[in-house]
């Protein structure tokens, strides 16, 4: 029995299937997870190792190099980058893009194991290696805690309370604080008093270290009891530390620590990371979600819990939102659902206008059921509602009704020819079900490269393929089952008034006009094909004028201001400069709030935000604007303020991007052994960038060299006084930043005890010669100048960057943020000039930035493209059991470039990665339409018609289905024209498909007559 006949005769089963799709789809829709962007795995981890006191070169050679070698022994590693700075090694390891989250967990464990084995081989003084594989966690709710007049400790107490409560909310995975300052106990030792009393500082340090340590005191048996011995003596308060006896054993005078030192609690004088919110110091609270949850629902639960805890908020303390992903997701999904609804409405209206009321309602119903059925499959496959999956539904809308249009059109034509509804449905389904399946599979296969792509871009956009696979596959099944069923319900078997059974259904004026045009083109095949070839050549030339880009900026009304003082600047100076800039930005119209992070980037509050690593001279302002349309105006005002009032700072202003993005848009990497040669090469490249005039924020990542004071250790004099190099390091460390000498226990907190001189003795570089050092030989203090012959000031590289174990300096730049040019355009101008730079032997140049990211994405995409296209071609051969007929269809594919180029130039849209996907999908649409037409020609010929008549009649019979499919797809894409992410894809499909319709209806028949040597009459 025919499947169409089965669906018509077994009405209960057909209704049941329709109801399952309808009810199940509605239920599944409300249970689907919601995200702003699709989740993709960040395949990187940071390896942090501190080596206090070591120079950048020592860190590089003694710490970074062996760790890099160990890391690269793992077979999973893609590449390794590192930053070696004073006392700190920061290594970022990126795993190959084929690995996903389950495999990565095992990989990180193996990495930790290997680095743990390495630790014992590192030099003395190197602190334990830390592997941070969670630094990629996304804190979707990002809040600031401020309070005028409140101390950091007050803010932290409230933040700790919120953290304890919010981590218990269902769906919350982690709660982290940012900007927390290290509280310390300061012991400020007077040099003069120590010298007068002749007390060694080492004795004080030893007493402070041992007095508060925890050591076992043993146990003793008393009868049946076994009692623990726990001596007193540990400090129970900071005040008690003043009573620590520090005089030498046997001394007649009792000297206490309070006699020579001022002891108090405070915060680290040189912080490592600070936050500010709207001009006030702040802490931040980041809330990360568990995987697989509906972030909108979790966001509502968090807000509800915060409302319940409002009574605990101290008066005058504020909890403000910096970024709220659930709200962004809710807005984003709502906007996309509106777009989806608009697209569905447009398609249904088009169907009603061109197909009539009954046909339009029928196919609109089939469209809705197919979409609802897609939601069921998405729920089963754990595909969330997000930017890509919803965009895929809109892209698929026009194609979803293609199959139903063919079936409905065939039933209508059968009815006009006098067939019954059952016979008409059986005939059209029997004729077209396999060609439609083949065409549908080809349309799906056109999207397969993105679904099979292994890189981050493929993972990000992969749901596009899976949603299209589900929806288009389901559309074919509903076309051959539910469409005949509803045709039987909606249509009548009576012949329209004025018509007779067997009348020509294609006698209308539009059909006759098209047939005349087609006959003309067939008669003048050479002219027709010449025009097409010339149009293709012109399109190829015009495509060179199309802008290229990778991913567009985000719609979020927020932009970033990266602020760099010269390398070597104190973080406190960075804070002072940023405080001034904050106020200037807050005074600009349309600015709603400004969040500053100083010393490093912010907590990762969205997946595509990449936090900057630790640099005391770095700060970043996150500027919220009231509306996206006002961003450019605000950026212009910020640029003006920076250039006029912050001449010493390097400032980079950038938008948040959609999708995976590089650190800089344009990057030229020079690798080689000698830092001086690398700096020379970087300077040459930077000069070329600056001369171009189309770029801004031009810099290189080694930044400026910094000054370092090098006291010359007079070894002979020092040995006579019993003073070692370690003694010199210790006294200098104590007299300036302060030296950690022990721990003070305050409940659950362990506070470092820091010894240092009073403020008036340590805050000026001139005091360095006043420092006194203890001589154990002479049992007194000596001026430091007796063991230091000279104080030299020298320059050194503060940052040593490496990539894959080679020293690498990267020259970075951006196209003007308010300009029209893309990174690809400016790169095309400067690349030939940079590549002309003469490289010494052993040095190399490579390109990063958008060029590298785009190339990797395209390489991954195109790696599966040949197999996909081969499969598509094989399917067409199986459908026709011929080579010439598939060639007729495939030869029209390159001609789609004519419509694509025209659309991109007319709309001034860039050819982005999503536009590339649109072009690939266009291939599938074009071939699908061609299959429907060529299959009809084949059927007409099999019925015994003369070849030319078969071509003309088949072409005329396919006018409405092909045009309807094109019009519904084109108009269904209209809402995507207003979405920055999908705009270029929409332009490619709309204009490309519009021209492809001409190709299908004109060029395919002309090529068919040419390949089969059919003569025109």
Beta carbons of 522 and 1005 less than 8 angstroms apart: yes
Structure tokens at 968: 């519904």
Q: Residue 247 and residue 269: Cα distance in Å, rounded?
A: 29
Residue 158 buriedness (CB in 10 A; 0-12 / 13-18 / 19+):
buried
Pairing of strands 183-189, 749-756: parallel
Superfamily for 508-545+882-1016?
A: Multidrug efflux transporter AcrB transmembrane domain (1.20.1640.10)
Q: Residue 949 and residue 209: Cα distance in Å, rounded?
A: 102
Beta carbons of 105 and 93 less than 8 angstroms apart: no
Sign of CA dihedral 451, 455, 457, 460: positive
Structure tokens at 769: 């010669």
Q: What is the largest CA-CA distance in the chain?
A: 131
Q: Residue 867 and residue 929: Cα distance in Å, rounded?
A: 21
- CA 408 distance to own-chain centroid: 44
Structure tokens at 345: 């409405």
Q: What is the pLDDT of residue 226?
A: 87
Q: Residue 97 and residue 78: Cα distance in Å, rounded?
A: 8
Residue 30 buriedness (CB in 10 A; 0-12 / 13-18 / 19+):
exposed
Report the length, in residues, of the chain: 1017
Q: What is the pLDDT of residue 469?
A: 92
Q: What is the pLDDT of residue 498?
A: 46
**Please, what is the angle between helix 402-416 and helix 959-972, to 10°?**
150
Q: What is the pLDDT of residues 91-131, one digit of tens each?
A: 999 998 888 878 888 999 999 999 999 998 999 989 999 99
- CA 428 distance to own-chain centroid: 48
Structure tokens at 469: 């696979």
Give the DSSP letter string of 63-119: IIHHHHHHHTTSTTEEEEEEEEETTEEEEEEEE-TT--HHHHHHHHHHHHHHHHHHH
Give the DSSP letter string of 430-456: HHHHHHHHHHHHHHHHTTHHHHH--SH
User: For residue 8, how many other CB atoms are within 10 A of its CB?
Assistant: 21
Domain boundaries, the chain: 1-31+356-492, 43-135, 200-259+706-797, 508-545+882-1016
**Single pTM value for the model:** 0.82
**CATH class of the domain comprising 43-135:** alpha beta
Which helix (H) or strand (E) element contains residue 934? helix 913-942
- SS3 of 247, please? coil
Q: Residue 472 and residue 458: Cα distance in Å, rounded?
A: 20
Beta carbons of 187 and 754 less than 8 angstroms apart: yes
φ/ψ (deg, to 5) at 441: -60, -40
Buried b (16+ CB within 10 A) or exposed e, 382-394: ebbbbbbbbbbbb
Q: What is the pLDDT of residue 24?
A: 94
Residue with tokens 């010493």: 648
Instruction: Mention every residue, 6+ apart, whose C-beta is less than 8 A from residue 747.
Output: none
Q: Residue 787 and residue 270: Cα distance in Å, rounded?
A: 28
Q: How many CA atoms lie within 13 A of 517 on its CB side?
A: 13
Q: What is the pLDDT of residue 126?
A: 93
Distances from the Cα of 462 to the Cαs of 447, 465, 468, 863, in angstroms? 9, 6, 10, 15
Give the DSSP letter string of 462-509: THHHHHHHHHHHHHHHHHHTHHHHHHHHH--SSPPTT--TT--TT-SH
Buried b (16+ CB within 10 A) or exposed e, 173-195: bbbbbbbbbebbbbbbbbbeebe
Q: What is the pLDDT of residue 797?
A: 92
Q: What share of the chain is helix, strand, coil (3-state, %, to 5)?
A: 55, 20, 30
Pairing of strands 695-700, 780-783: unpaired
Instruction: Mention every residue, 6+ apart, whose C-beta is less than 8 A from residue 846.
Output: 668, 669, 671
Q: What is the pLDDT of residues 734-769, one digit of tens each?
A: 888 888 888 888 877 888 999 988 887 765 677 788
- SS3 of 794, please? strand
Q: What is the pLDDT of residue 507?
A: 66
CA dihedral 840, 846, 849, 855 (to 10 degrees): 170
Residue (of 449, 370, 353) closest to 404 by Cα position:
370
φ/ψ (deg, to 5) at 225: -90, 150
Pairing of strands 317-324, 183-189: unpaired
Q: What is the pLDDT of residue 569?
A: 92
Strands (E) in 835-984, as ranges, are 844-847
Instruction: Mention every residue, 6+ apart, whose C-beta is less than 8 A from residue 444.
Output: 465, 468, 469, 472, 473, 924
Q: Is there a common fold for 200-259+706-797 and 508-545+882-1016? A: no
- Bridge partner residues of 532 (DSSP): none
Which residues of the chain are modeled with pLDDT < 50?
Answer: 495-498, 501
Give the DSSP letter string of 817-874: TTSS--HHHHHHHHHHHHHTSPPPTT-EEEE-HHHHHHHHHHHHHHHSHHHHHHHHHH
Residue (of 963, 961, 952, 896) closest to 932 by Cα position:
961
Fold of 200-259+706-797: 3.30.2090
Q: What is the pLDDT of residue 292?
A: 74
Sign of CA dihedral 955, 960, 962, 966: positive
Superfamily for 1-31+356-492?
A: Multidrug efflux transporter AcrB transmembrane domain (1.20.1640.10)
């Amino acid at each position: 029995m025919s499947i169409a006949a089965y669906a018509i005769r077994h009405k209960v089963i057909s209704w049941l299937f329709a109801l399952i799709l309808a009810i199940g789809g509605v239920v599944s829709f409300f249970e689907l997870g919601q995200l702003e962007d699709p989740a993709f795995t960040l395949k990187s981890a940071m390896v942090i190792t501190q080596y206090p006191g070591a120079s950048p070169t020592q860190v590089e050679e003694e710490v970074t190099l062996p760790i890099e070698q160990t890391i690269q022994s793992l077979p999973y590693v893609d590449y390794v980058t590192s930053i070696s700075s004073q006392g700190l090694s920061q290594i970022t390891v990126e795993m190959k893009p084929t690995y996903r989250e389950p495999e990565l967990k095992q990989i990180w464990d193996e990495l930790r194991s290997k680095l743990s084995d390495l630790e014992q081989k590192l030099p003395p003084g190197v602190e334990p290696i830390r592997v941070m594989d969670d630094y990629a966690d996304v804190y979707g709710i990002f809040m600031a805690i401020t309070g005028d007049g409140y101390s950091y400790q007050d803010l932290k107490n409230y933040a700790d309370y919120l953290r304890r409560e919010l981590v218990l909310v269902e769906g919350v995975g982690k709660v982290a604080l940012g900007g927390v300052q290290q509280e310390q106990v300061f012991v400020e030792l007077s040099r003069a008093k120590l010298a007068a009393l002749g007390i060694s500082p080492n004795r004080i340090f030893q007493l402070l270290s041992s007095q508060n340590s925890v050591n076992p005191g043993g146990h003793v048996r008393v009868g049946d009891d076994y009692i623990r011995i726990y001596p007193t003596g540990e400090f129970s308060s900071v005040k008690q530390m003043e009573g620590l006896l520090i005089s030498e054993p046997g001394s007649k005078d009792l000297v206490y620590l309070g006699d020579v030192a001022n002891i108090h609690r405070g915060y680290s004088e040189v912080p490592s990371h600070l936050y500010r919110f709207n001009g006030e110091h702040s802490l931040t609270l980041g809330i990360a979600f568990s995987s697989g949850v509906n972030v909108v629902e979790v966001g509502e639960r968090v807000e509800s819990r915060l409302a319940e805890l409002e009574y605990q908020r101290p008066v005058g303390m504020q909890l403000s939102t910096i970024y709220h992903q659930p709200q962004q997701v809710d807005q984003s999904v709502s906007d996309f659902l509106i777009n989806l609804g608009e697209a569905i409405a447009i398609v249904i209206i088009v169907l009603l206008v061109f197909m009539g009321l009954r046909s339009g309602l029928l196919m609109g119903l089939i469209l809705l059921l197919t979409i609802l059925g897609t939601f069921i499959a998405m729920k089963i496959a754990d595909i969330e509602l997000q930017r890509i999956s919803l965009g895929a539904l809109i892209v698929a809308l026009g194609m979803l009704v293609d199959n139903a249009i063919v079936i409905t059109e065939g039933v209508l034509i059968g009815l006009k020819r006098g067939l019954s509804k059952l016979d008409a449905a059986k005939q059209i389904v029997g004729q077209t079900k396999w060609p439609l399946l083949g065409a549908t599979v080809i349309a799906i296969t056109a999207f397969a490269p993105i679904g099979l792509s292994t890189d981050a871009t493929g993972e990000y956009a992969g749901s596009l393929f899976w949603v299209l696979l589900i929806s288009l596959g389901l559309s074919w099944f509903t076309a051959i089952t539910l469409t005949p069923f509803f045709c039987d319900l909606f249509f009548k078997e009576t012949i329209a008034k004025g018509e007779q059974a067997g009348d020509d259904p294609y006698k209308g004026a539009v059909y006759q006009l098209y047939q005349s045009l087609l006959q003309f083109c067939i008669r003048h095949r050479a002219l027709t094909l010449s025009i097409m070839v010339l149009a293709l050549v012109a399109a190829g030339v015009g495509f060179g004028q199309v802008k290229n880009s990778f991913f567009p900026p985000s719609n979020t009304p927020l932009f970033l201001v990266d602020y760099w003082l010269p390398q070597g600047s104190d973080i406190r100076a960075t804070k002072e400069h940023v405080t001034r800039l904050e106020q200037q930005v807050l005074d600009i119209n349309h600015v709603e709030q400004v969040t500053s992070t100083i010393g490093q980037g912010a907590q990762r509050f969205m997946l595509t935000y990449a936090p900057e690593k630790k640099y005391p001279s770095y700060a970043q302002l996150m500027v919220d604007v009231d509306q996206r349309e006002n961003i450019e105006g605000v950026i212009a005002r910020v640029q003006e303020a920076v250039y006029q009032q912050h001449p010493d700072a390097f400032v980079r202003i950038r938008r948040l991007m959609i999708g995976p993005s590089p650190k800089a848009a344009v990057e030229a990497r020079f690798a080689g052994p000698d830092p001086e040669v690398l700096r020379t090469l970087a300077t040459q490249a930077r000069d070329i960038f600056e001369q171009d005039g189309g770029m801004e924020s031009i810099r290189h990542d080694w930044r400026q060299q910094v000054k370092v004071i090098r006291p010359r250790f007079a070894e002979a004099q020092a040995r006579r006084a019993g003073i070692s190099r370690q003694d010199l390091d210790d006294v200098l460390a104590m007299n300036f930043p302060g030296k950690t000498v022990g721990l003070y226990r305050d409940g659950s907190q362990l506070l470092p005890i820091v010894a240092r001189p009073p403020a008036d003795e340590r805050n000026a570089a001139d005091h360095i010669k006043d420092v006194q050092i203890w001589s154990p030989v002479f049992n007194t203090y000596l001026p430091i100048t007796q063991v230091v012959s000279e104080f030299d000031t020298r320059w050194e590289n503060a940052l040593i960057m490496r990539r894959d174990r080679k020293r690498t300096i990267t020259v970075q730049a951006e196209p003007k943020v308010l300009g029209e040019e893309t990174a690809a355009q400016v790169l095309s101008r400067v690349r030939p000039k940079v590549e002309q730079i003469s490289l010494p032997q052993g040095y190399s140049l490579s390109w990063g930035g958008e060029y590298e990211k785009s190339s990797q994405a395209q390489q991954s995409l195109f790696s599966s493209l040949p197999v996909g296209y081969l499969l598509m071609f094989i399917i067409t051969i199986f459908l026709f059991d011929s080579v010439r007929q598939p060639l007729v269809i495939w030869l029209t594919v390159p001609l789609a470039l004519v419509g694509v180029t025209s659309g991109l130039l007319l709309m001034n849209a860039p050819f982005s990665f999503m536009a590339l996907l649109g072009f690939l999908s266009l291939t599938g649409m074009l071939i699908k339409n061609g299959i429907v037409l060529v299959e009809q020609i084949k059927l007409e010929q099999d019925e015994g018609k003369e070849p030319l008549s078969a071509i003309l009649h088949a072409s005329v019979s396919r006018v409405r289905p092909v045009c309807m499919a094109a019009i519904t797809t084109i108009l269904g894409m209209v809402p995507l024209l207003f979405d920055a992410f999908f705009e270029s894809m929409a332009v490619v499909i709309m204009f490309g498909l519009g021209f492809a319709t001409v190709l299908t209806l004109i060029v395919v028949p002309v090529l068919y007559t040419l390949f089969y040597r059919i003569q025109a009459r």
